Structure 1
Amino acid sequence: MLSLLGLVVTLGMVFGGYIIAGGKIGIILHSLPYEMMMIGGAALGAFLVANDFGRIKHAGADMMAAVAGPKWKKQDYQDLLCLMHRMIVILRESPVDIEKHIEDPQNSELFAEYPRIQKDKKAVDILCDTIRSMMMNFDDVHQVEELLEKQLDAMKEEAMHGAHAVEAIADALPALGIVAAVLGVIKTMASIDKPPEVLGKMIGGALVGTFLGVFLAYGVFGPFAARIKGVREEEHSFYELIREVLVSTLHKHSPNICVEVGRRHVPTVMRPSFNELEQALKGTAA
């Protein structure tokens, strides 16, 4: 919601300052529909040309995420650590028993206790595929770490598609604003025989195009692209936590040490305290 609040503050300060300074808002309001049609329509057309349907859908979801914030909350990180602790214990005590959970996670009573994680295909796939490989004696720490690193890099690159698309729109908007302004000047030059007060309004209307292009680029789409990047990077920490715990497992550390390594990898604002995690682990053990 802070994104929407920031947008309201930006609009209020820019147009409020303009009105207080004596500017006539009527000129902007008169030109706004036409300029927005040219600038917004050109930006939308360029966006459709540059992206396939998947990335367009991705960008729409990213804009919603920029408003709603990161998907994973503090409780989700704690639940993930508890889930992995239980899986490590089962894997070491009875490898046969872990198979029913990793082969059919959607019907696993273990995963069912953590429904938000169970619904996330990426997290479940990383967990189950890596543990399955470990059971097949693919347990070289460096190879597993490198494999997970490449998988996570590919996931992060895919998650950033929406941010890159919105950023491209922000980069194009100033130039599209100039295009709209040039068209307004052409229109003005065709009416050069009009009185000065008429020409002044027409020139002012033409400059609205330049203003809108720059304002939308640096006041709206640029900040939204940065916000999307921040949200997706924070969400990616959830999957990096899985890598840290699994790699620690291959180093033969105890389950408690493995999840402690993962806990310290959690972003600070989402990180459960040592005591909170210890109490949660005692609850799962009970």
Structure 2
Amino acid sequence: MFVIVGYIFMCVCILGAYAWHGGHLGVLWQPSEIVIIFGGALGGMIAGYGGKPLKATLKAFPSIFKGSPYGKAFYMDLFACLYELLSKVRKEGLMSIEGDVEDPHSSPIFGKYPKISHDHHVVEFITDYLRLMVGGNLNAFEIENLMDVELETHHHEAEVPATAITKLADGLPAFGIVAAVMGVVHTMGSLHLPPSELGKLIGAALVGTFMGIWLAYGFVGPLGTVLENKAKESTQVFQTIKVTLLASLNGYAPQVAVEFGRKALDSTERPSFQELEEFVKNAKGK
């Protein structure tokens, strides 16, 4: 949503100001230069990020135009789900959640929170470490180290699309210069034309530099930033789960463990203590 709004605002300001001062917008339409700029930059990106990184980038691209699923409502459900699981452990022992861990899709606890149960990666992260806790072969320090390794791997993998798009944006101005130079070369071979025609050719050549910079910083660069922010948001979900489970593993009561997790959130998603406590109690009573 905001990507589209930003694009519209930018185009109105840049093109509107250009037209206001008597510029002809038609001059800016140079399809061959756009092909040179985008084709060159995309070719470089494919060469550098072919295979799995390219597939990950294409898969992540549609998410740019969608809102974040990790809002306040998601975290409220996450904390309520974790609270129920940890409360069950505290009352009935670790073996009581074996069924929830082995088959989360049939678990009545996970089933109460569709925002959580429909996120395969979140469910897998929770159940994997609850399974290790049930096994009892690892202490809190060892589990924390393992979580850190997985979080680092996840964040690195999640940042691949953002890095690829950012590299694409970095290449566009350079290929804009390539398009401009090629336009100048074409102009130098047309010196027999009258000045009015030469002026058009020179103007078209200069558009290449403009288009490369505009496409890089106005269109493609912001997409890399959006993907980078989405990667950080997904990592924060796992960081929150990590803090909550480790607090429980270190002996804290479920309500305190959930409070540890709440403190790991940014202020924009973090519910108040009273708000979360009331929500968790109401959710557990359903």
Q: TM-score, normalised by structure 2?
A: 0.94
Alignment deviations for residues 243-279 of structure 1 (CA, whole Å, 9 cap, x no partner): 0001101110111000011111122111122122111
Residue correspondence of structure 1 range 126-141 to structure 2 within 5 A: 126-141=125-140
Q: Which residue is 2:27 aligned to?
A: 27
Residue correspondence of structure 1 range 99-114 to structure 2 within 5 A: 99-114=98-113
Distance 1:9 1:27 in 2: 21
* Unmatched 5+ stretches in structure 2: none
CA RMSD between the two structures: 1.5
One-letter amino acid of the counterpart of residue 205, structure 1: A
Alignment deviations for residues 14-47 of structure 1 (CA, whole Å, 9 cap, x no partner): 1111111222222212xx2111111122222223
Match of 2:85 among 87, 111, 127: 87
One-letter amino acid of the counterpart of residue 100, structure 1: G
Q: Which residue is 2:53 aligned to?
A: 55
Distance 1:143 1:221 in 2: 42
Residue correspondence of structure 1 range 59-78 to structure 2 within 5 A: 59-78=57-76
Q: Which residue is 2:7 aligned to?
A: 7
Q: Which residue is 1:46 aligned to?
A: 44
Distance 1:174 1:284 in 2: 53
One-letter amino acid of the counterpart of residue 252, structure 1: G
Q: Which residue is 2:168 aligned to?
A: 169
Q: Which residue is 2:260 aligned to?
A: 261
How far has the Cα of 1:65 moved from its partner? Answer: 2.3
2:185 equivalent to 1:186: yes
Alignment deviations for residues 56-84 of structure 1 (CA, whole Å, 9 cap, x no partner): 34323433323223221211101110111
One-letter amino acid of the counterpart of residue 54, structure 2: I
Is the 2:98–2:134 Cα contact (8 Å) retained in structure 1?
no
One-letter amino acid of the counterpart of residue 139, structure 2: D
Distance 2:28 2:61 in 1: 27
Distance 1:12 1:247 in 2: 51
Distance 2:215 2:59 in 1: 20
SS in 2 for 1:268: coil
One-letter amino acid of the counterpart of residue 71, structure 1: P
Distance 1:60 1:14 in 2: 29
How far has the Cα of 1:139 moved from its partner? Answer: 4.4
How far has the Cα of 1:53 moved from its partner? Answer: 4.4
Is the 2:64–2:223 Cα contact (8 Å) retained in structure 1?
yes
How far has the Cα of 1:138 moved from its partner? Answer: 3.4
Alignment deviations for residues 69-120 of structure 1 (CA, whole Å, 9 cap, x no partner): 3221211101110111111111222222200000111222211111221122
Of all paired residues, the percent bearing the same amino acid is 34
* Unmatched 5+ stretches in structure 1: none
SS in 2 for 1:160: helix
Q: Tell me whether 73-82 or 91-100 shows the greater mean CA deviation.
A: 91-100
Q: Call closer, same or farther: CA 1:212–1:205 in 2, change over 3 Å.
A: same
Is the 2:80–2:284 Cα contact (8 Å) retained in structure 1?
no
